[in-house]
Structure 1
Amino acid sequence: MAKKKEAAAGGTIKITQTGSPIRREKDQRATLIGLGLNKMHKTRELQDTPEVRGMIRKVAHMLSVEG
């Protein structure tokens, strides 16, 4: 329960797209778009939730994650 409160209180995670979605599966491209990434070297700061972590895990080979 404490983890959910931390995430809601402003726990964020910074992700940067380092790999190209060209020649990737459609679901991986859709996951990048869901994370708000669509161009190389674009960075987003998102809430640290289990849903976001699952999406990051799916396309981890194309991302750089901080914090």
Structure 2
Amino acid sequence: MPRTFVWHPSKGPAKTPKLEAPGTGKLHIKQVRSAIGHSWRMRRTLEALGLRHHQASVVQQDSASLRGQLKQVRHLVLVTAVEE
């Protein structure tokens, strides 16, 4: 039986930057990779964040629940803190 999944060590980010604990500020979230080929759960998480298409960006209030969503799709988004 042929193998249907081959793991490629060079695919994806080698290391993602750590996010500090949730604060009271805002976060700028930009989708940098497409959701095509990923699970329905990841696509739904991106939609819940307000990211409807590739290269879309939103500003969200920082919270623990937002951090949990970002953790699920951290390889598809770029997160930066907003200076107020």
* TM-score (ref. length: structure 1): 0.84
* TM-score (ref. length: structure 2): 0.68
Which ranges of 4 or more aligned residues in structure 1 deviate by more than 4 Å?
none
Q: Alignment RMSD, CA only?
A: 1.6
| Counterpart-to-counterpart distance in 2, 1:38 and 1:48 | 20
Give 1:33 shift: 0.2
Match of 1:50 in 2: 64
| Counterpart-to-counterpart distance in 1, 2:40 and 2:63 | 23
- Greater RCO between the two (CA within 8 Å, min separation 6)? 1
5+ long unaligned stretches in structure 2:
1-20
Give 1:38 shift: 1.5
1:15-54 to 2 correspondences below 5 Å: 15-54=29-68
Match of 1:65 in 2: 79
In proportion to residue count, which structure has more helix?
A: 1
Residues matched between the structures, number: 61
Larger Rg over CA atoms = 2
